Structure 1
Amino acid sequence: MAYTALYRVWRPQTFGDLVGQSHVTTTLRNAIREERLSHAYLFNGPRGTGKTSAAKIMAKAVNCEQPQDGEPCNECQACRAITDGAVTDVLEIDAASNRGVEEIRDIRDKVKFAPSDVTYKVYIIDEVHMLTTEAFNALLKTLEEPPSHVLFILATTEPHKLPATIISRCQRFDFHRISLQETVGRLRHICDSQQVEVEEQALQLVAKKAEGGMRDALSLLDQAISYSGTKVTLGDIIQITGTVSQTYFSVLAKLIAEQDVSGVMEQFDQVMVQGKDPEQFLHDFMFYYRDMLLAKTAPKLQEIVERAMVDEQFMQVAEQYSVPLLYEVIESLSQALTQLKWSTYARVLVELTLVKLCQPTVKQATGSVQVSVQAEAASSDEVQILTRRVAMLEEKITQLLAGQVVGAGAVPATAEKAKTREPRRTASSIGGARAPITKVRDAVRSIDEGLTQRVRGSWSQILNEIKKVKIQYQAWIVNGTPVAASQDALIVVFTSSIHCEKTMEAELRSVVERTVQLVCGKPLALLSIMEEEWQELQVQVGETEAAKEKNPDEPDPFVAEALKLVGEHLLEIKD
């Protein structure tokens, strides 16, 4: 006879054989025993958790000649015929290949005929979410009010793809992922029955790789038995699945904690020589650290550890990592996995990630977290700079209160009038990149109306060209409004001080100036100012021009004030 796969040989034949779904089997047994059957059921859950098996068991149970407490006897003619697939009244339909409206119409036309061999005609529609919209519409009325001798059982792994009108017509049962302990117990029972000797760690790894699916676990076990014969070891499972052993990950994690880049690269090269997949390697390594995080933060929840065996070696490595450092490592590995999907050079990206892990921004020191040396040095320099600036400001405030000179060429007592005229600067301008006020004032005095209109008309084109260079640049400049242009400068007004200062930084300013020259054909220096400063400048320049028209011989008030402050011998006046 031909060999039969383990998952087919050990397919559950009663509700009691279903592993990890007691919430489903108890309800169905009670309904069958008390004859409280619904006309339609929806079984949904992950693959390999027993949905189709439960549907076939139910088809036998409702047609069994001698049911036993809601269970099929598997001895009567009806049970044996359904198990062998010889009953035409129990139809299992694959919706993935019979998804059209014509197939559903054929079912709708045949449901009215009474069953010929058994009590109930049962339609099991697997992967029902694959049906087309038209097919669902054709099924609706029949699903809602089928004949009394018809039972529909729908099975799917993606219930969210089903129309709400279909779901509302069914009793819904959610199948859960099978726990690690239950999977291992079932595998152990099967191995004992097959007279196969298997290491406990091998069964643990098979169950973890199955990720809650019994069919996947049995398929992997079947493959391992074919590879190893009657004795299956952990190394055999590692070999056939392409995974990396926990011992290897522990060595690698220890080298990363010690920041041994050369050792890490040597270890990774060993994996690549063996032909392992870089993405699968990174995936397993991330779950290794995930398990380490759980072992440190929730040691009582060892049953949810997925990739690691919590042994002495594992815990010794875990002691070298603090919880914040584990956050950073897992985050880095997760980002690398996301980038790996779009990368052509998978190995290079994994190597880059491993080198980064050897140089974390979080450092270990007797179980506490410290910032890295580089971060400490940078922080120390910033603190010193800020301390000096605060000291200078305090000194100037003291001099101001004492009526002394605040700075070179500035006397508060005599310059009060000039200070009231000076445009108000926001607090955020301290230390920020801002346009020199004298250049802005010069540009205002020599505005070219024609050029101003040309820049305003081309502003949307200028923004589009900047966007082509870098969309972030366009996001900073789009908040500005061009208000005036002279022969050598362009004034852009902002309502946000952050945007105003950002546009005056060298890199962004040069991009804007090149774009303006490209579009308008004239080199103009960018001058970014706040809206309130622009309004005050307009008032000041208007007053100055009015004063000149009234008395042309009167000197410029700004020049006069400058003469008072610094003296005639230190001041040079240029037109």
Structure 2
Amino acid sequence: MAYTALYRVYRPQTFQDVVGQEHVTTTLRNALRENRLSHAYLFNGPRGTGKTSAAKIMAKAVNCEQPIDGEPCNQCDTCRAISNGSVTDVLEIDAASNRGVEEIRDIRDKVKFAPSDVRYKVYIIDEVHMLTTEAFNALLKTLEEPPSHVIFILATTEPHKLPATIISRCQRFDFHRIPLRVMVDLLQRICQSQGVQVEEQALQLVAKMAEGGARDALSLLDQAISYSKDEVRASDIMQITGTVAQSYFSVLARHIAENDIAQVMEQFDKVMVQGKDPEQFLHDFLYYYRDMLLLKTAPQLEEIVERTMIDDQFAEVAKLYSFPVLYAAIETCNQALSQLKWSTYARVLVELTLVKMCQPNANATESMGASPVNSEELTAMSNRIRVLEERLVQVMQGQVSTPGQQKAEETRKSEPRRIAAASGGSRTPMNRVREVAKAMDENLTRQVRGQWSQILTELKKIKIQYQAWLVNGQPVAAGNEAVVVTFNSAIHCDKTMEAELRSVIERVMSTVLGRPLQLLSVMEEEWQSVDQQVGQKDASDEPEEDPFFAEAIKLVGEGLVEVKD
């Protein structure tokens, strides 16, 4: 006869056999005892925690000929037939391979027929989250009001993928991960019944690797029994799963705390020579530091024992790490694990991670016991920073210019002159610029300058290239329905006077300022020349004061002086 896997041999046959789910089994037993059955149940939780097994036990319990305190007897013909899968009225459907609307419509058409062999028709739909949207819609009405002889049991590992309309029509039961101590007791009982010798630490490792799933634990134990000869040891589990012994991590962590890169690389090479997976190695090392953090923060927590054996070596290594260094180590391992998914060279990335952990940052080094910086050095450094900040403020305000800045300004000023001279100046008519300079409105000019950044922002929303051409311009005068903007670059000056860009800028200025204004772009040298000419003309237009008239005002006052031609 063919060999049967352990997880099939020791599959629960009663609610009492389902370990770690007392909150579910107690409720179902009470409902069966009091005959308070629902038409639909939803079992959700991690893999290997007993969802499908509980569904089959439920199917036997509702149809058992001689139920015992809410439990199936497993002795009557009905219980045996359901266990063997020979009852056509108890259907277990895999929604992963029967996820279409046609399969659900077939179920909907057949539920109306009464069961032929048992009391209740039970439909167990496993991995129900795999159904399509159309299939869920076809199931809705039947799930809400099925015939009295039908019970639906839905099982899934991802309940968040189910529509809310489906969940609201079911009694929901959340299956939890099986605690480590409960898992170890289960494995110990199975090993005793199989007559297998096994180390306590080996059972701890198997339960740890299963991560709360009984099926995973039994499959791993089955593999370990096949691998070992007389006794299942912890080394056998490590060899099968590719994990590393805790004592090795303690030695490695000690070398990292001592910043001994050579020893760290040597220890890591020993693991790689044994064929260990770099990702699994880093995953286990992350949990090693995690357990160390819990040991230092909350040593009374039972959860620590679930991952690491608290021995003298582990406690001594934990004393070498301060909290900042421990936080940095965990964060470094976590970042490396995220990068390993996309890296081709896993070993190189893990080696880089170990080197980083041996070279912590300045704060971590100080917390590890490194000598702090001298107070005099800190004072001198603080003074230098303060002087540099003051110097930077002066440069930003234009009070001080660096040699490079002066050279750049000279080059920038000389270049427009050459370009302007070669091209004959800007495109803007200078007589129009002179009119604006003569009739400049101070209030309007201040308004334009104050809202210039808003004009640039609105222009950027239209097209960022438009804003780039105008950003170096400076509004210097506004009046007579026009604005004069100066540029240091002849290219920017000419570009802004092109018809398309100029019309966009004028439209934006009209929107922001609330009045239409014409754009006049000129070179800075041209504006200085115009401004100087207008200033000289204004000075020459003022009449010269008569010295006799001034002397008379000083003597008798302006009110008593009358001038006649």
What TM bracket, shorter-length normalisation? 0.7 to 0.9
Instruction: Give how far 1:539 is off.
Output: 12
RMSD value, Cα: 4.0
Quote the residue 2:367 is aligned against: 369
Does the aligned pair in 2 maintain the 1:449–1:485 contact within 8 Å?
no
Change over 3 Å in CA distance of 1:228–1:426 after alignment to 2: same
Does the aligned pair in 1 maintain the 2:324–2:364 contact within 8 Å?
no
User: C-alpha separation between the residues in 2 aligned to 1:60 and 1:88?
Assistant: 13
Instruction: Give how far 1:159 is off.
Output: 0.5
Does the aligned pair in 1 maintain the 2:426–2:490 contact within 8 Å?
no
Quote the residue 1:104 is aligned against: 104
Quote the residue 1:481 is aligned against: 471
TM-score (norm 1): 0.72
User: C-alpha separation between the residues in 1 aligned to 2:330 and 2:146?
Assistant: 53
Quote the residue 1:87 is aligned against: 87
Alignment partner of 1:387 out of 379, 383, 386? 383
Change over 3 Å in CA distance of 1:459–1:255 after alignment to 2: same
Quote the residue 1:494 is aligned against: none
* Secondary structure in 1 matching 2:42: strand
Alignment partner of 2:535 out of 525, 550, 570? 550
Quote the residue 1:170 is aligned against: 170
Quote the residue 1:506 is aligned against: none
User: C-alpha separation between the residues in 2 aligned to 1:171 and 1:133?
Assistant: 21
User: C-alpha separation between the residues in 2 aligned to 1:429 and 1:122?
Assistant: 87
Instruction: Give how far 1:344 is off.
Output: 1.3
**Could you give the per-residue CA deviations for residues 246-293 of structure 1, whole angstroms, max 9, x where no partner exists?**
111111111111111111111111111111111111111111111111
Change over 3 Å in CA distance of 1:436–1:25 after alignment to 2: farther
Instruction: Give how far 1:229 is off.
Output: 3.5
Change over 3 Å in CA distance of 1:544–1:431 after alignment to 2: closer
TM-score (norm 2): 0.73
Quote the residue 2:256 is aligned against: 256
Instruction: Give how far 1:393 is off.
Output: 9.8
Quote the residue 1:238 is aligned against: 238
Instruction: Give how far 1:386 is off.
Output: 3.6
**Could you give the per-residue CA deviations for residues 286-332 of structure 1, whole angstroms, max 9, x where no partner exists?**
11111111111111113245532111111111111111111000101
Change over 3 Å in CA distance of 1:331–1:434 after alignment to 2: farther
Change over 3 Å in CA distance of 1:461–1:171 after alignment to 2: closer
* Secondary structure in 1 matching 2:86: coil
Change over 3 Å in CA distance of 1:35–1:268 after alignment to 2: same
User: C-alpha separation between the residues in 1 aligned to 2:17 and 2:415?
Assistant: 88
1:439 paired with 2:409, answer: yes
Change over 3 Å in CA distance of 1:390–1:104 after alignment to 2: closer
* Secondary structure in 2 matching 1:41: strand
The one-letter amino acid of 1:271's match is V
Does the aligned pair in 1 maintain the 2:180–2:212 contact within 8 Å?
yes
Instruction: Give how far 1:4 is off.
Output: 0.6
- Aligned pairs (5 A) from 1:139-218: 139-218=139-218
Does the aligned pair in 1 maintain the 2:394–2:400 contact within 8 Å?
no
* Secondary structure in 1 matching 2:367: strand
The one-letter amino acid of 1:481's match is V
The one-letter amino acid of 2:488's match is S
Quote the residue 2:310 is aligned against: 310
The one-letter amino acid of 2:200's match is E
- Aligned pairs (5 A) from 1:214-363: 214-361=214-361
Does the aligned pair in 1 maintain the 2:295–2:304 contact within 8 Å?
no
* Secondary structure in 2 matching 1:42: strand
Q: Which moved more, 1:124-133 or 1:442-451?
A: 442-451
User: C-alpha separation between the residues in 2 aligned to 1:291 and 1:163?
Assistant: 38
**Could you give the per-residue CA deviations for residues 406-460 of structure 1, whole angstroms, max 9, x where no partner exists?**
xxxxxxxxxxxxxxxxx99878999999966993995999697569xxxx9x999
**Could you give the per-residue CA deviations for residues 382-408 of structure 1, whole angstroms, max 9, x where no partner exists?**
7524414657999x9xxxxxxxxxxxx
The one-letter amino acid of 1:217's match is A
Max Rg structure: 2
4+ residue runs over 6 A deviation: 370-373, 379-382, 391-394, 423-438, 443-448, 458-464, 477-480, 488-491, 538-544
**Could you give the per-residue CA deviations for residues 147-203 of structure 1, whole angstroms, max 9, x where no partner exists?**
000000000000111111111111111100111111111111111111111111110
Structure 2 runs not aligned, ≥5 long: 429-456, 474-485, 494-522, 540-565
Change over 3 Å in CA distance of 1:459–1:42 after alignment to 2: closer
The one-letter amino acid of 1:369's match is S
Does the aligned pair in 1 maintain the 2:41–2:171 contact within 8 Å?
yes
- Aligned pairs (5 A) from 1:482-521: 482-483=472-473, 485-487=487-489
Quote the residue 2:55 is aligned against: 55
Change over 3 Å in CA distance of 1:88–1:361 after alignment to 2: same
User: C-alpha separation between the residues in 2 aligned to 1:158 and 1:433?
Assistant: 67
User: C-alpha separation between the residues in 2 aligned to 1:550 and 1:81?
Assistant: 112
User: C-alpha separation between the residues in 2 aligned to 1:173 and 1:228?
Assistant: 39
Quote the residue 1:522 is aligned against: none
The one-letter amino acid of 1:546's match is D
Does the aligned pair in 1 maintain the 2:255–2:264 contact within 8 Å?
yes
The one-letter amino acid of 1:31's match is A
User: C-alpha separation between the residues in 2 aligned to 1:213 and 1:325?
Assistant: 34
Structure 1 runs not aligned, ≥5 long: 397-422, 465-476, 492-537, 555-575
User: C-alpha separation between the residues in 2 aligned to 1:84 and 1:479?
Assistant: 82
User: C-alpha separation between the residues in 1 aligned to 2:34 and 2:380?
Assistant: 82
Identity across matched positions, percent: 65
**Could you give the per-residue CA deviations for residues 131-151 of structure 1, whole angstroms, max 9, x where no partner exists?**
111111111111111000000
Change over 3 Å in CA distance of 1:251–1:167 after alignment to 2: same
Change over 3 Å in CA distance of 1:439–1:346 after alignment to 2: same
Q: Which moved more, 1:286-295 or 1:437-446?
A: 437-446
User: C-alpha separation between the residues in 2 aligned to 1:428 and 1:203?
Assistant: 75
Aligned residues: 461
